[in-house]
Structure 1
Amino acid sequence: MNDSQIADNIARIQERILRAAERAGRAPQSIALMAVTKFHPAEAILDAYHAGIRLFGENRVQEAQTKYPPLRDSLVGSRLHMIGTLQKNKINKALGIFDALEGIDSVEVLEAILARLSSRTEPIELFFELHTGEESKAGFPSLDELLRACDLLASFAAENREEGRLVVLRGLMTMAPFTTDERAIRHSFSMLAAAKAEVAQRFDFVHFTELSMGMSNDFEIAIEEGSTLVRIGTALFGERA
């Protein structure tokens, strides 16, 4: 896919975001568009950047480590999120590459991240993933488990003032089931929105504002249900190689 096709696709997605936001009575500016670059080459990343994209997502630490460090000087003002499941043995590398880690799905992974924060000079943003119906069963299996992680993070920040400033809970993320059943998709997204409200009520995380939900096949529904960040790959870049 060439640069003009990617630019056209971005424009079409942004128009659909605008319409979905209008249906929901929301400001389109409140919704960020992430370009998911898994299995797509560096050239596609640069084309998306030149077309206005400033937020990128990768699923795997190793692929991100290969592609992004050589590009970062050319992607001024951009941010890179890890949106896949993070294995504990990849945490050190992830902390050196990403600006945010979205797939935090267990207390054990959170503990491992907190133990390695000394490698950071800038804060790392975290998104806790809640399992809401996607078949892979990624994410915290219940709201109670997610709240337990929130409690751990709040306690860590209170007890470790210096390292506590290096970790920021930015929001929650989920994957809806891959289905044509709109009710099931909406239920998944509304579960995450309810979880965000519960966390906000119980904890005082200053920067906790984001709902990362919605992909190429369901992002308009996600926006109608409150998403602030949609993760789009195929609709921007075409099918992965």
Structure 2
Amino acid sequence: MTIAGLPQGADTPATRLADVQQHIGSACRTSGRDSASVALVAVSKTFGADSITPLLAAGQRRFGENRVQEAAGKWPALCAEWPGVELHLVGQLQSNKVAEAVALFDVIHAVDRPSLVTALARALAATDRRPRLLVQVNIGNEPQKGGCAIAETPALIASARAAGLQIHGLMAVPPAETDPAPYFALLHKMARDLALPEVSMGMSGDYPLAVQLGATMVRVGSALFGGRG
């Protein structure tokens, strides 16, 4: 995609954003989907306002952070300057950070255990904020990763609903250095079987494939921001 006023081949935040959007559009066309059905979440963890602002200026409004404390240190000022930001928590959430997360984030991707359901229900009862909630699934059954076990996911969703929480979808990170396609397909099937509309999967190295296999949200960092040093 060519950006007006920029030399062909220029590497800028605007051209990187356009390139990712183009790949999402192409993947949607391949799979017979509307590109508007896929939300691009720019994962800005470890990057400061000077790196984030050019993407905001280029029109990007969905951003993802891994840590509540880091997000709290930079996003209130950015949101005040750039209206319309939708902030996603894409990393693990500690129970003692739940109230702060509910106050700050619009989407929380990391609901993964009963104690977190309890903490979220308590925090939501104390505020009128209603962030969208996704259950994180340990799709590769990896002991070092967070996420709810596949077999336990329906029960966790049922307990969340019983506590008054509305679960909107599923999120997962496939095992590294493996073909992600079977894991993407499985997560999409799980979401469909559970009648959940949102499927958060796919990162910089595999987001076009994730889109072809049903992602409604892709979490892209390095393809937009470059290396994290």
Normalising by structure 1, we get a TM-score of 0.86
Give the structure 2 partner of residue 221 of structure 1: 209
Give the structure 2 partner of residue 69 of structure 1: 76
Give the structure 1 partner of residue 117 of structure 2: 110
Mapping of residues 178-197 of structure 1, within 5 Å: 178-179=176-177, 181-182=178-179, 185-197=180-192
Q: Offset at 1:147? A: 1.0
Q: Helix, strand or coil for the counterpart of 2:69?
A: helix
Q: Offset at 1:74? A: 1.5
Aligned residues: 219
Judge conservation of contact 1:211–1:229 (CA < 8 Å) in 2. Answer: yes
Give the structure 2 partner of residue 17 of structure 1: 24
Give the structure 2 partner of residue 40 of structure 1: 47
Q: Helix, strand or coil for the counterpart of 1:69?
A: helix
Q: Distance in 2 between matches of 1:69 and 1:219?
A: 28
Judge conservation of contact 1:134–1:175 (CA < 8 Å) in 2. Answer: no
Q: Distance in 2 between matches of 1:186 and 1:74?
A: 39
Give the structure 2 partner of residue 151 of structure 1: 158
Q: Offset at 1:134? A: 7.4
Judge conservation of contact 1:212–1:227 (CA < 8 Å) in 2. Answer: yes
Q: Is structure 2 residue 221 aligned with structure 1 residue 236?
A: no
Give the structure 2 partner of residue 6 of structure 1: 13
Q: Offset at 1:120? A: 2.3
The superposition leaves residues 183-211 of structure 1 with CA deviations (integer Å, 9 ceiling, x where unpaired) of xx1111111111112211xxxxxxx4111
Q: Helix, strand or coil for the counterpart of 1:103?
A: strand
Normalising by structure 2, we get a TM-score of 0.90
Q: Offset at 1:142? A: 2.1
Judge conservation of contact 1:123–1:168 (CA < 8 Å) in 2. Answer: no
Q: Distance in 2 between matches of 1:219 and 1:21?
A: 11
Q: Distance in 2 between matches of 1:118 and 1:138?
A: 26
Q: 4+ residue stretches of structure 1 with deviation over 6 A?
A: none
Q: Per the alignment, do residues 134 and 155 of structure 1 end up closer, same or farther by CA in structure 2, a change over 3 Å counting?
A: closer
Give the structure 1 partner of residue 3 of structure 2: none
Judge conservation of contact 1:127–1:170 (CA < 8 Å) in 2. Answer: yes
Which consecutive unaligned segments of at least 5 residues does structure 2 have?
1-9
Q: 2:166 aligns with which of 165, 168, 172?
A: 168
Q: Per the alignment, do residues 119 and 69 of structure 1 end up closer, same or farther by CA in structure 2, a change over 3 Å counting?
A: farther
Please report the RMSD computed on the Cα atoms of aligned residues, expressed in angstroms.
1.7
Q: Distance in 2 between matches of 1:187 and 1:70?
A: 41
Q: Per the alignment, do residues 47 and 119 of structure 1 end up closer, same or farther by CA in structure 2, a change over 3 Å counting?
A: farther
Which consecutive unaligned segments of at least 5 residues does structure 1 have?
158-166, 201-207
Q: Is structure 2 residue 37 aligned with structure 1 residue 30?
A: yes
Give the structure 2 partner of residue 60 of structure 1: 67
Judge conservation of contact 2:43–2:219 (CA < 8 Å) in 1. Answer: yes
Between 147-156 and 77-86, the greater mean CA deviation after superposition: 147-156
User: Structure 1 vs Structure 2: percent identity of aligned residues?
Assistant: 34
